[in-house]
């Protein structure tokens, strides 16, 4: 799959209710959580779009733009639609968007590269990664062609990524990891402490 046809998109619009503050702005190993993912993907795409409903800090780059959700409280699907609308309204020529959560500091660019290599765009308009029997619904490749269907379904109250993806006919790309989970995500302060321990173990 041609990286030049894909907009990298970081979904940072969540309320972080369990964490108690905007997770994207929390530091791990001296670096903002959002910068952990940006550092891994910034050289993989022509442009990166951050979707966030807060004024947040992140690493400066001319390749990075930020927008808010078009409509609040629509969850990750709302963030995906906002990114698709931005592509259309900005007259960009991207055919796909590649989505990433803001809270997975152990994700590596090699996983993205392998994911894209495995995709046959004729097989589906939506692709997710699956590892260790878990489907990662935010690590996805979404065709811009899904925009109208997604907007219609959101207007009809659909919010759950898993169910919507199943209805669309998502294609799953399986990967295996023997060591620590690169998709470990930080939802709570306890998770942050666990991530710090993992980082320390990696350094020792």
With H, G, I as helix, E, B as strand and everything else as coil, classify residue 33: helix
Separation CA 201–CA 56 (nearest Å): 29
State pLDDT tens for residues 73-100: 899 999 999 999 999 999 999 999 999 9
pLDDT of residue 199: 81
Query: Closest by alpha carbon to 195, among 30, 15, 9?
Result: 30
Alpha-carbon torsion angle 114, 40, 44, 80, nearest 10: 90
Q: Where are the domains of the chain?
A: 3-203
Is 57 exposed, middle or buried (CB count within 10 Å of its CB: 0-12, 13-18, 19+)? exposed
pLDDT of residue 46: 96
Q: State if pTM tops 0.85.
A: yes
Does residue 49 register a pLDDT over 90? Answer: yes
For 23, the token pair is: 């997770």
- For the chain, what is the mean pLDDT? 93
Residue 132: pLDDT band (50, 70, 90) is confident
- The dotted CATH code for 3-203 is 3.90.550.10
For 55, the token pair is: 């004024």
């Amino acid at each position: 799959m041609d990286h030049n046809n894909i907009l990298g998109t970081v979904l940072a619009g969540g309320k972080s209710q369990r964490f108690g503050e905007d997770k994207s702005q929390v530091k791990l190993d001296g670096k903002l959580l959002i910068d952990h993912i940006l550092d891994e993907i910034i050289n993989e795409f022509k442009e990166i779009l951050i979707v966030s409903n807060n004024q947040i800090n992140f690493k400066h780059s001319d390749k990075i733009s930020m927008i808010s959700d078009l409509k609040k409280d629509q969850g990750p699907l709302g963030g995906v639609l906002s990114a698709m609308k931005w592509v259309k309204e900005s007259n960009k020529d991207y055919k796909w968007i590649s989505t990433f959560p803001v809270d997975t500091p152990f994700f590596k660019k090699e996983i993205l590269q392998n994911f894209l290599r495995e995709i046959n765009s004729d097989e589906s308009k939506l692709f997710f990664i699956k590892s260790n029997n878990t489907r990662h619904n935010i690590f996805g490749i979404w065709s811009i062609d899904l925009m109208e269907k997604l907007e219609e379904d959101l207007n009809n109250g659909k919010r759950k990524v898993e169910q919507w993806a199943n209805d669309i006919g998502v294609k799953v790309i399986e990967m295996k990891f023997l060591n620590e989970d690169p998709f470990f995500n930080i939802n709570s302060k306890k998770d942050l402490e666990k991530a710090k321990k993992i980082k320390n173990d990696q350094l020792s």
